[in-house]
Amino acid sequence: MESIVSKILQHQKFSIPEILILLNAENEDERLLYQKAREIKLLNTGDKVYLRGLIEFSNVCDKDCFYCGIRKSNKRIKRYFLSDEEVIKASRFAFSNKYGSIVLLSGEMKSEKFVERIERLVKQIRQITGDEFGITLSCGEQSKTTYLRWFKAGATRYLLRIETANENLYNKIHPNDRSHDFQSRVNSLAVLKKIGYQVGTGIMVGLPGQTLLHLAEDILFMKKLDIDMCGIGPFIEHHETPLFHHNNIWDLDSRFDLTLKVLAIIRIMMKNINIAASTALQSIDKFGREKAIQLAANVFMPNLTPVHYREDYSLYDNKSCVKESPDDCQICTTARIEMVNGNIAFGEPGDSTHYILRKSKV
């Protein structure tokens, strides 16, 4: 007899009850879920894997999120900024090794000095790389004016994770003040989209207090927002943060399995978006990122941060690639992607098909 999971996968109608059933899928049902996700991935994005060179620009952060190792109350890390030369060198490395795109990732700062620096760096990178290169920013919540300045400077994509789409849970994992306001974050995503960025968001899976219902709401939130890109990883405690001491019903292995399920459901529901294989997956399972590529993800992010800073961009404990150099990650990435028969799309910016179609309708 046909299982209910198999029926849902055929009918492709997804509201909360169906998503909950998929999140609970086990054994043969779980296998069916992954098989369907893989089928849809190959049909819509092929076997191509796009490379995004990750540049962790600075770990200075004005925010104090309860889960994050670079929160401003953590006095036990060395704060750093890459120099302009280091950012440009990393960008050149990505360009000459045909990565197709970079992501400039940073703690959140709103000072004019920071905004101006990012603007200047984006302009320089754009000048070096020409039009056919993806420049993604992930520098937190900013004003509309700032987002516009960075867009005009040449940034084409922006990543801002909602972390959880449930306002109550959001308030439990952030301080209760104006700079950690759920609605402002939602609003930032709308502003980014209106400006014309390719917009990515995502969540953490396995947060204390998070339920399967929350995850189902998160998936529907992303669907409704009509996102172009998605980055999702398991929550992993950092020993210098308040959530380290929190009771968590999810052990690391179940967070990992659940993350793969969420990714599979997202691929099935949002067929042509770009999905990243998050670094956090590899902190739990040595082949975490490859498993994500096998069933749903089509973006891999080799780290390009100069090695002596990596240890200090510690969002969570046991982060991978902290001792490796950009060259090590380059060699390792190729081997890892080949291991799962992925086809590295060298030199392609890899705009999400969802974004290309969205723009062609305007």
Tokens, residue 236: 């992993």
Between residues 45 and 138, which has the closer beta carbon with respect to ligand 5AD? 138
Chain positions 23 to 82 lying near ligand 5AD, rule: CB under 6 A, are: 67-68
Contacts of 129 (CB under 8 A, 6+ apart): 91, 95, 135
Tell me which of ligand 5AD, ligand FES, none is bound by residue 321, counting a contact when its beta carbon lies within the kind-specific cut-off of 5 to 8 angstroms.
ligand FES
Q: Which of 230, 280, 284, 329 binds ligand 5AD (CB under 6 A)?
A: 280
Chain positions 159 to 198 lying near ligand 5AD, rule: CB under 6 A, are: 161, 163
Backbone phi, psi, residue 102, to 5°: -130, 160
- Contact characters 208-237, ligand 5AD, x per CB under 6 A: -------------------------x-xx-
Q: What is the rounded (10 degree) CA torsion for 277, 143, 64, 114? A: 90
Residue nearest ligand FES, Cβ-based? 332
For residue 274, the cross-strand partners are 229
Chain positions 331 to 360 lying near ligand FES, rule: CB under 6 A, are: 332-333
Between residues 326 and 350, which has the closer beta carbon with respect to ligand FES? 326
For residue 203, the cross-strand partners are 163
Q: Which of 59, 74, 166, 303 binds ligand FES (CB under 6 A)?
A: 303
Distance CA 188, CA 185 (A): 5
Distance CA 270, CA 292 (A): 16
Pairing state between β 198-201 and 229-234: parallel
**CB count in 10 Å sphere of residue 284:** 20
Tell me which of ligand 5AD, ligand FES, none is bound by residue 302, counting a contact when its beta carbon lies within the kind-specific cut-off of 5 to 8 angstroms.
ligand FES
For residue 105, the cross-strand partners are 56, 138
Give 9-77 as a 3 state SS string: HHHCCCCHHHHHHHHCCCHHHHHHHHHHHHHHHHHHHCCEEEECEEEEEECCCCCCCCCCCCCCCCCCC
Tell me which of ligand 5AD, ligand FES, none is bound by residue 329, counting a contact when its beta carbon lies within the kind-specific cut-off of 5 to 8 angstroms.
ligand FES
Tell me which of ligand 5AD, ligand FES, none is bound by residue 62, counting a contact when its beta carbon lies within the kind-specific cut-off of 5 to 8 angstroms.
none
Chain positions 299 to 318 lying near ligand 5AD, rule: CB under 6 A, are: 315-316
- Contact characters 250-289, ligand FES, x per CB under 6 A: ----------------------------------------
Between residues 227 and 329, which has the closer beta carbon with respect to ligand FES? 329
Q: How far is the CB of 76 from ligand 5AD (least distance, A)?
A: 15
Backbone phi, psi, residue 203, to 5°: -140, 170
Closest by CA position to 81, among listed 122, 113, 128: 113
Chain positions 307 to 326 lying near ligand FES, rule: CB under 6 A, are: 321, 324
- Provide the binding-site residues for ligand FES, judged by CB under 6 A: 302-303, 321, 324, 328-329, 332-333
- Provide the binding-site residues for ligand 5AD, judged by CB under 6 A: 67-68, 161, 163, 204, 233, 235-236, 238, 280, 315-316
